[in-house]
């Protein structure tokens, strides 16, 4: 089957490469000629473990290609996926659907054959209805009497583990309104269905809401355990023990119960805001999600104050230096969107603290977002002369730092572990002042 993937960013490129690996003929389309040129040269526009090898093997096999020409790319395609960005709209936080609707109009004008048009982008409830209207009103579809079905197929990919998530999903959600859409999507995902990955067929609006509801629930779990971590510090409990104790309950589960500096990234921040706007539009308040958004925003800044406290307070911290280890919102990605490190660095900078930082993949993107932060070649360069070291992202490269070397390079042996990747006793035995999240 020929598949066209409109949008060659994180979702589109990973999905397109995986579909090609299943044996489909996939064309990834993007309006950015520089991005397409890099892809032709084997250069990935994002960092995702294993993606470069997956793309390379499928390009060589003739199953994966790239173009800026949408009309040529969708020619003879049975399924056309829309995988463009839906950033938060300024002012109200709603998803900006400008790119989605622009693609729908362009597809409608260029389409020459019956096809299923699939919204892979995260879109608010009712977006598929508007895409369907745009396609139905397009001159090409009308003139040719084409059969077009609009389907919702949200992605559930974790950055840093996206290929594994795509190939071994918990579920595949397909929102379709007719048999044509369901039949084509069944064929698209037949390789996964043969591996017993569950296909959940629902109506289109339910599918659109499932994505937002899932992300809001996960954001709620993160925010809940972060508040429990604060309480643990006050009462002398250990949040990791609390997390294990509640996570062993099958009704709760252990995932997303790791205390830290707050959630960030491309999904949770914008999707919770978009869900709030949808709830507002339909006069159905989601007060729990409102609280989650507020608490998470506050927490990121509070992590900056936690580092200041380790320096003796805001007044004592002025003029000192902090080494920030980890800038991306999570490891194994170069994504800086809404990363807690941005708020931490801002809080330190506002207090007159010099900040030096290192991240294995994110510094090129981080640099313009943090103009006052010095980017370093490795963690030890950042640590050199620092009055405190703060671990913000749990990259594997930070899990086994040479503490003796850290102590020798740093001006003061102070370690603030915002991801709880070290044993408090081990670090204190090495002669450090140590603080972490939700632990004594």
Residues involved in catalysis:
267
Locate 43 and state its tokens.
């250069």
Contact 301, 343 (CB under 8 A): yes
Locate 190 and state its tokens.
């037949």
247 exposure class (CB count in 10 Å sphere: 0-12, 13-18, 19+): middle
Contact 83, 15 (CB under 8 A): yes
Tokens 């629930």 belong to which residue?
217
Helix (H, G, I), strand (E, B) or coil at 65: strand
Spatial separation of the C-alpha atoms in residues 384 and 103, rounded to whole Å: 50
Helix, strand, coil percent content, the chain, rounded in steps of 5: 45, 15, 40
Helix (H, G, I), strand (E, B) or coil at 201: strand
Spatial separation of the C-alpha atoms in residues 359 and 43, rounded to whole Å: 20
CB atoms within 10 A of CB 203: 12
Locate 268 and state its tokens.
């949770």
CB atoms within 10 A of CB 384: 16
**Cα–Cα nearest to 127, from 108, 94, 152:** 152
57 exposure class (CB count in 10 Å sphere: 0-12, 13-18, 19+): middle
417 forms bridges with which residues in the sheet?
391
């Amino acid at each position: 089957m020929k598949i066209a993937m409109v949008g060659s960013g994180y979702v589109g490129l990973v999905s397109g490469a995986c579909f090609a690996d299943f044996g489909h003929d996939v064309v990834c389309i993007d309006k950015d000629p520089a991005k397409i040129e890099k892809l032709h040269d084997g250069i990935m526009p994002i960092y995702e473990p294993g993606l470069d090898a997956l793309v390379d093997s499928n390009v060589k096999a003739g199953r994966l290609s790239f173009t800026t020409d949408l009309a040529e790319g969708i020619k003879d395609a049975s399924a056309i996926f829309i995988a463009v960005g839906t950033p938060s709209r300024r002012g109200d936080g709603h998803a900006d659907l400008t790119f989605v609707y622009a693609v729908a109009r362009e597809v409608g004008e260029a389409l020459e054959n019956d096809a299923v048009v699939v919204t892979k982008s995260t879109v608010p409830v009712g977006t598929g209805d508007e895409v369907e209207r745009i396609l139905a009103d397009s001159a090409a579809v009308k003139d040719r009497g084409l059969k077009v079905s609009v389907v919702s197929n949200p992605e559930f990919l974790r950055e840093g583990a996206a290929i594994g998530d795509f190939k071994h999903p918990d579920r595949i959600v397909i929102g379709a309104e007719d048999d044509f859409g369901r039949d084509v999507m069944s064929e698209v995902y037949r390789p996964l269905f043969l591996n017993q990955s569950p296909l959940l067929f629902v109506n289109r609006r339910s599918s659109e809401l499932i994505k937002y509801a899932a992300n809001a629930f996960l954001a709620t779990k993160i925010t809940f355990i972060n508040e429990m971590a604060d309480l643990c510090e006050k009462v002398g409990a250990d949040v990791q023990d609390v997390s294990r104790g509640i996570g062993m309950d099958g009704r709760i589960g252990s995932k997303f119960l790791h205390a830290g500096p707050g959630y960030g990234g491309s999904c949770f921040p914008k999707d919770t805001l978009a869900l709030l706007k949808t709830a507002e539009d339909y006069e159905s308040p989601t007060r729990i999600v409102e609280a989650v958004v507020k608490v998470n925003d506050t927490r990121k800044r509070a992590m900056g104050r936690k580092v200041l406290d380790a320096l003796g307070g805001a007044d004592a911290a002025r003029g000192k230096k902090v080494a920030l280890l980890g800038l991306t919102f999570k490891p194994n990605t170069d994504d800086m969107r809404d990363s807690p490190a941005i708020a931490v660095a801002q809080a330190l900078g506002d207090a007159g603290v010099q900040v030096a930082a290192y991240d294995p993949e994110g510094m090129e993107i981080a640099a313009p977002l943090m103009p006052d932060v010095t980017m370093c070649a490795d963690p030890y360069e950042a640590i050199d002369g620092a009055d405190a070291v703060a671990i913000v992202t749990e990259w594997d490269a930070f899990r086994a730092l040479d503490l003796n070397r850290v102590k020798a390079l740093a001006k003061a042996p102070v370690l603030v572990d915002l991801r709880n990747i070290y044993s408090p006793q081990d670090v204190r035995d090495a002669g450090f002042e140590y603080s972490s999240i939700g632990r004594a």
